[in-house]
Amino acid sequence: MERKEKLNLSMLFDFYEMTMANGYFRQGLQDRITYFDVFFRRVPDGGGYAIAAGLEQLVDYIRDLHFDEEDIAYLRSKGLFEEDFLDYLRTFRFTGDIWAVPEGTPVFPHEPLITVRAPAAQAQLIETYALLCVNHQSLIATKASRLIRAAQGRVILEFGSRRAQGVDGAVVGARAAYIGGVHGTACALSDQVYGVPAAGTMAHSWVQMFPTQYEAFKAYCEIYPNNAILLVDTYNTLKSGVPDAIRAFNEVLRPRGITKCGIRLDSGDIAYLTKEARKMLDAAGWESCTISASNSLDENLIRDLLLQGAQVDSFGVGERLITARSEPVFGGVYKLVAVEDEDGTIVPKIKISENVTKITTPHYKKLYRFYGNDTGKAIADYLAVYDETVDDSKPLVIFDPDATWKKKEVYNFTAKELQVPVFQNGELVYDLPSLEEIRSYCAQQLDTLWDEVKRFDNPHNYYVDLSQKLWDVKYGLLEKNH
């Protein structure tokens, strides 16, 4: 079979999704209304929070969900599916409902980032792609947020396209990194498609193409006088790199009255070299010249460099951001939490495991965030049954989902539902925000978290607690199925 010119992403499913969909069809269950939650169990890198991302790509997928004749021919070739089921797939579309937390929201383990209410076959078939979108982009956005905090207000640029895991890893990964707070990317395609600001100057090969390093620097300053950032470590950073950069700045930029310029280091002892380079630049009257650093950086190395007094104005972070190298799996899962009977009664479902963290929270739920009225800071998140409302005008008792004895009282707070409707009856009802709006929202929401939640080492455990009604449902099912 020839490879299709354009892949139909509706076929990007784990094969058991299709065998289950066929099984539901054979059993007459394909239209049974089901509820699934997308959630994760642990924050990467031992952090205190994660950043939700990937919803826009899931929306695009849902709107284009279909199977064409080539897809059906492939499925027929597997010898597992009868013609009536294949006919059913010819008119397959998503007709259900989806709720989600907006992209850029700080989120925590065991709370639903996305809730799907849909006929069983439809809900089952979107599992893989839903998880792919959320797992990948939430991972990168979370890593980017850690880098931004480590940089303490300095610029972070995403430099990882050439080390990314595939095209989407580079392009959509840069989008996620921008949501998490980085200031731009080296990936031009991500700028063209999503508006992530792309920037770049030179590689070592530019310097090597000229007879001398000085000539390379001078030529670059003449071509790009308003964006003259010179890579100074091709040969010897302090003996020739910085002096040649200063000479080029003096001869090309200074006569034109241009003071905006920069140097970049991509190797060596960044802390030592940047401190020495800063002295040399300042002594030459180039106090306005910025210093950038790259070379396999991550949040821990950036923190260490700054503790050592490194004179760096911006960091380029590549492979350790775009692949989240320190912990490259987000761990989101997609679990059935309820089904509807024919009379519309919602029946909660639970998954039980000897591993306590894998026990699910059942039922169709609402997700709230409580903000202290006196501080504006987030106090806790709160899961309630779908038909409950929160009265935030009076104190409320909330229950720890993992302890039968632990509860606490919250007061003087404002409750806000975190999930928003995205699809209703298969129709998009959510106005997708711009990438800039998502990024700004993310920064604003991070400001509502206490510093103790955001710290790198032993962050405060942010609570995701249950209502009394939901707690009773969960532990009732545990007792029943014990």
Domain 149-322 carries which CATH code? 3.20.20.70
Superfamily of domain 9-140+328-481: nicotinate phosphoribosyltransferase (3.20.140.10)
Planar angle of CA 95, 364, 53, nearest 5 degrees: 70
- Domain residues of the chain, as ranges? 9-140+328-481, 149-322
pTM for this one?
0.96
Q: How much is the pLDDT for 1?
A: 47
Q: How much is the pLDDT for 357?
A: 87
* Per-residue pLDDT tens digits of the chain, which is 482 residues long: 455 567 899 999 999 999 999 999 999 999 999 999 999 999 999 999 999 999 999 999 999 999 999 999 999 999 999 999 999 999 999 999 999 999 999 999 999 999 999 999 999 999 999 999 999 999 999 999 999 999 999 999 999 999 999 999 999 999 999 999 999 999 999 999 999 999 999 999 999 999 999 999 999 999 999 999 999 999 999 999 999 999 999 999 999 999 999 999 999 999 999 999 999 999 999 999 999 999 899 999 999 999 999 999 999 999 999 999 999 999 999 999 999 999 999 999 999 988 888 999 999 999 999 999 999 999 999 999 999 999 989 888 887 766 555 677 888 999 999 999 999 999 999 999 999 999 999 999 999 999 999 999 999 999 999 999 999 999 999 998 87
Q: How much is the pLDDT for 401?
A: 67
* CA 200 to chain centroid: 24
Pairing of strands 114-119, 50-51: unpaired
Q: Give the span between the Cα atoms of 203 and 58, in whole angstroms.
A: 36
